[in-house]
Amino acid sequence: MKKRSLSQISPNSIMKDVNPDLDIERQNPSFDVERLTNILDGGAEKTQIRRTVETWIQNDPELSRENQYFQSQNERYEEGIRKSLYLAKKMDEMGWVEGGPHRDYCSRSLSSDLAFNVHQVFVKSILGLGTDEQIAKWVPLAQKFYIAGTYAQTELGHGTYLRGLETTATFDVATQEFILNTPTLSAMKWWPGDLGRTATHAVVFAQLYLNGKSYGMHPFLMQIRSLRDHSPLPGVTVGDIGPKMNFENVDNGFLVLKNVRVPRENMLARFSQVLPDGQCKKQGTDKINYLTMIVVRVAMIQREVVIILMKACTIAIRYSAVRRQSELKPGDPEAKILDYQTQQQKLLPQLATAYAFHFVSSYLQEVFDKAYTDTKEGKFDQLPELHALASGIKVIATEYSSSGVEVCRKACGGHGYSLLSGLPSLYTRLVASCTYEGENTVLLLQTARFLIKCFGMAKDGHPIPSSVAYLSSKNFGKCQAWKKGDFLNPDVYIDAYQQRAFRMLQNAAIKLQSLVQLGVAQHEAWNSCSVQLAWAAMAHIHYIVVEQFAKALQRYEREADVHRILKHLCDLFALHGMYLNTGDFMQDGYLSTEQVAMVTESYLDLLPVIRRDAVPLVDVFDFTDTSLNSALGSYDGRVYERLYEWAKKSPTNNQDKRVFETYLKPLFKNALSKL
C-alpha cells in the first residue's frame, strides 16, 4: 500500500509556507500517519468527529486563546466562566448530547481554559452515589448550570486518607436533618475547584454520626450559597484559597460549616441510607465511596495527563527539527538539534512513554467499565483490583509524564523557559496531578497493600486477580537473552519486568513478615517497610504498562507498517526503563553485566530508527495550533517569526512611563552632562 503523508490528510495541511526543515521531515514516513491517528482516536469516525469539533473551536473567536499568557488570574477566571457557558449553549444548539463524543472532544481541547471542571465531578458523584430519585432531581439542574456544584472532600488537614476526615454530619431524628460541622481548623474543606467563587451547591464528605456512634464517611449534597444573590448561607463561610502555580481559571476554595442543617434525603444513598428512626442501612462495601475518586483518576489520565505529555513531545520534537545548533560534521552547516544523539535520548523515550500511557489508559478504561457495570448490579468483588490499578497507573502516569514534560522543556533550551513556548504552563499544570486526586506516595502504598494481600493468597495457593497472576510463579531463573537483538523480543523484557516486580514485592513481604514475627506491631512493621513497598508497587505498575503496550501491538500484526513503528516505540519504552533502573534488574543476578551492555546497545540503536519518524509520530497526535498554543510547536515550524510576533503583543510593551519618571529619570539625567 502506498504510504500517505500527513500533509495530504490532516486539516493542518491548509497551512502555507511551512518551514522547509519541518516539511522535509514529513515527506516519507515509514507508516500510514492517518491510520495511526485513527487508532489513537478509536476509529476513523471518531477522528472525523474530533476534527469537526476542533475546527469549529479554532474558527470561533469566542473561544480564542490569543493573549492568554498575558492575562491575570481574575481575567483567566472570568474567561473560564464565559467560555464554559458559551460552549454549553453552543453545544446544545448543535445537538451535541451529554456524554457524547462531541462534548468529550470539546473538553479535551479546552479543559485548561474552562471553569466548572469540578462541577462535572459533582455531577458524576451524584450519578455514581445517588439514588434514581436524587439523580432525577439534581442532575438536570446541574447539567443546565441552574446550579453550580463542587466536590468537597479534601480538608486543610487531610487529603488522601479519607477515614481521617474531620467534617461531621450528626443526624437529628426530631427534625429529620443532618447537622454538618467542620469542628476544627484542619477540618475545613480546602482545595475543591469551583468552590472559591462559583459553586452554589456541594457534595460534602463527612463522618456520619448516629446516636453518638460513627458510621464512617458519607456524601451529603448541600446548598452553600444563595441562588438569589450568591451570598453564603447561614453557618457557611466560603472563599478562594489564593494564587497557585497554575490553574488560574479555577477557583479552588475553602469551606467552613457551623451547624448547617441538611435534609435527610440529601445524603447520597445509592449504597447507604439513614432511615427515619436513625438506623443506618448499607448495601455493598464501604469501598464504594472511593468510586468517584476512581472515576476521576481514570478520566484525568486519559484527558489530562497523557494529552499534556503528547503536547510537550509535539512542541519539543517539532522545535528540535527546525532549531539548528553547532556543526555535527566540521565544515557542514549547523545541524538540527534532533540529529544529536543526546537530544534523541532526551525526547524519544518521552514520545514512547506517551504512546505507552495511551494504551495502558485504554486498558484501565476497559477494567473500569466492567467493574462499574458490576457495582450497578450490586457486585463489588472487582473494586480492590480496580482501585489498585487506578491508583498505581495514576502514579506512574503523573510522575513520568510531569518529569517528561520538564525534559521536553529543558530540551528546548532558553526558549523553553518562555511562557510563549507553552511548555512551562503544561508542566505547572501537570505536576499538580502528582498530588490531586490522591497523593502519589499514599496511592503507591494503597497499591502495595493490595499486592501484599495477593502475594499471600498466591503463596497459599488461592486464586488471584489477572493483573497479578505472575505472583503465582515459582521461579523466574535468569534472563535467557544471548545477544542484543533478544532484548527486542517483548517476551524477554516482559519477563524481566515481571521478575523485577516479583522480587521487589517478595523482598518487602519477607521483611514485613520477619518484623511482625519478631514482635513488631503491624503498623510499625508496615512503616519500616514502606519505602520498599512503594518501590515494589511502582515496579508492578511499570510491568503492567510494558505488558499492556506489548499486548496492544498484537491487534495490529496484520498492518505491517503500523505494527513496526509501534513495536519500535514499545521496545524503546521497555528498554528505557531497564536502562534507567539497571540496578533493579541486576540485583539478584537476573541480568549479567554483559546483558546490561546488550540492553544499552539495543536501547541506543533504537534512537536513530525512531528519529526518522519523530515528526510524523507527533503529527499523529493531530493537535491544532490553537490547542497547542505554542510559539515553538506550531505545525508550520515558523518558530522565530511567531516568538517575535507574540512578544510584541505583551502589555508590558505598551505601558506608560511612570516607572521611568519616578525611579529612573532622576538617575539617568546625571549622565547627560557626562556623555
Give me the mean pLDDT over the 158-185 stretch. 93
Query: What number of other Cβ atoms are within 10 A of residue 332's Cβ?
Result: 8
Indicate whether 425 belongs to any domain. Answer: yes
**What is the amino acid identity at position 535?**
W
To the query of whether residue 601 is one of the catalytic residues in this protein, the response is: no
Indicate whether 648 belongs to any domain. Answer: no
Last residue of a domain, which of 597, 618, 639?
618
Say if residue 154 carries a ligand binding annotation: yes
Task: Supply the pLDDT for residue 8.
Answer: 38
pLDDT at residue 2 greater than cutoff 50:
no
CATH number at residue 334: 1.20.140.10
Nearest to 509 by CA among 587, 456, 563, 445: 456
Task: Supply the pLDDT for residue 287.
Answer: 63
Task: Supply the pLDDT for residue 13.
Answer: 56
The whole-chain average pLDDT of the chain stands at 93
Task: Supply the pLDDT for residue 11.
Answer: 59
Q: Is 129 helix (H, G, I), strand (E, B) or coil?
A: helix
Task: Supply the pLDDT for residue 5.
Answer: 38
Indicate whether 36 belongs to any domain. Answer: no
Same domain, 601 and 580: yes
Task: Supply the pLDDT for residue 367.
Answer: 93
pLDDT at residue 143 greater than cutoff 80:
yes
For residue 527 the three cell numbers come to: 512503616
CB distance 392 to 443 below 8 Å = yes
Task: Supply the pLDDT for residue 282.
Answer: 86
What gap in Å lies between CA 371 and CA 85, rounded to an integer? Answer: 33
> How much of the chain is helix, strand and coil, in % rounded to 5?
60, 10, 30
How many angstroms separate the most distant Cα atoms in the chain? Answer: 94
Containing 170, the helix (H) or strand (E) segment is strand 168-172
What gap in Å lies between CA 255 and CA 564, rounded to an integer? Answer: 54
DSSP letters for 432-473? GGGTTTS-HHHHHHHHHHHHHHHHHHHHTT----GGGGGGG-
- Classify residue 542 as left (phi > 0), alpha (psi -120 to 50) or beta: alpha
Last residue of a domain, which of 114, 137, 168?
114
- Residue 337: CB partners within 8 Å, gap ≥ 6? 320, 323, 324, 325, 343
Where do runs of H (alpha helix) occur along 20-131?
A: 20-23, 33-41, 44-59, 73-93, 101-110, 117-129
Same domain, 92 and 215: no
Indicate whether 53 belongs to any domain. Answer: no
pLDDT at residue 522 greater than cutoff 70:
yes
* C-alpha R_g of the chain: 27
Indicate whether 379 belongs to any domain. Answer: yes
- C-alpha angle 4/9/13, rounded to 5°? 120
CA atoms within 13 A on the CB side of 75: 8
For residue 155 the three cell numbers come to: 480538608
For the chain, the domain total comes to 3
Q: pLDDT class for 345, splitting at 50, 70, 90?
A: very high
What gap in Å lies between CA 295 and CA 390, rounded to an integer? Answer: 9
- C-alpha angle 549/554/556, rounded to 5°? 105
Same domain, 587 and 515: yes
Same domain, 267 and 337: no
Number of residues that this document lists for the chain: 675
Give me the mean pLDDT over the 470-478 stretch. 85
**Strand partners of residue 281:** 273
CATH number at residue 265: 2.40.110.10
Last residue of a domain, which of 576, 591, 618?
618
Same domain, 328 and 441: yes
Same domain, 109 and 178: no
Give me the mean pLDDT over the 309-332 stretch. 95
pLDDT at residue 9 greater than cutoff 60:
no
How would you classify the pairing of strands 280-282 and 272-274?
Answer: antiparallel
Task: Supply the pLDDT for residue 355.
Answer: 98
Same domain, 268 and 331: no
What gap in Å lies between CA 675 and CA 670, rounded to an integer? Answer: 10
Query: What number of other Cβ atoms are within 10 A of residue 70's Cβ?
Result: 14
pLDDT at residue 253 greater than cutoff 90:
yes
Give me the mean pLDDT over the 78-98 stretch. 92
CB distance 369 to 421 below 8 Å = no
pLDDT digits (tens, 9 = 90+) for 475-513: 788 999 999 999 999 999 999 999 999 999 999 999 999
Indicate whether 514 belongs to any domain. Answer: yes
Q: Is 78 helix (H, G, I), strand (E, B) or coil?
A: helix
Give me the mean pLDDT over the 324-331 stretch. 90
Indicate whether 5 belongs to any domain. Answer: no
Same domain, 253 and 295: no
Q: Is 656 helix (H, G, I), strand (E, B) or coil?
A: coil
Task: Supply the pLDDT for residue 15.
Answer: 61
**What is the amino acid identity at position 77?**
Y
Indicate whether 334 belongs to any domain. Answer: yes
**Strand partners of residue 239:** 254
For residue 231 the three cell numbers come to: 451570598
pLDDT at residue 215 greater than cutoff 70:
yes
**What is the amino acid identity at position 170?**
T
Task: Supply the pLDDT for residue 255.
Answer: 98
The catalytically annotated residue of 334, 437, 547, 661 is 437
Task: Supply the pLDDT for residue 373.
Answer: 87
Same domain, 319 and 215: no
Same domain, 491 and 509: yes
**Strand partners of residue 152:** 204
Same domain, 200 and 308: no
Give me the mean pLDDT over the 53-64 stretch. 93
What gap in Å lies between CA 318 and CA 25, rounded to an integer? Answer: 9
Q: pLDDT class for 437, splitting at 50, 70, 90?
A: confident
Q: pLDDT class for 379, splitting at 50, 70, 90?
A: confident
Same domain, 338 and 454: yes
Angle between helices 341-376 and 593-611 (to 10 degrees): 90
Q: Which domain holds residue 75?
A: 68-114
Say if residue 193 carries a ligand binding annotation: yes
What gap in Å lies between CA 486 and CA 598, rounded to an integer? Answer: 9
Give me the mean pLDDT over the 267-271 stretch. 93
Of the listed ranges 13-17, 25-29, 412-416, 607-611, the one predicted with least confidence: 13-17
Query: What number of other Cβ atoms are within 10 A of residue 4's Cβ?
Result: 14
What gap in Å lies between CA 499 and CA 503, rounded to an integer? Answer: 6
**Strand partners of residue 336:** 324
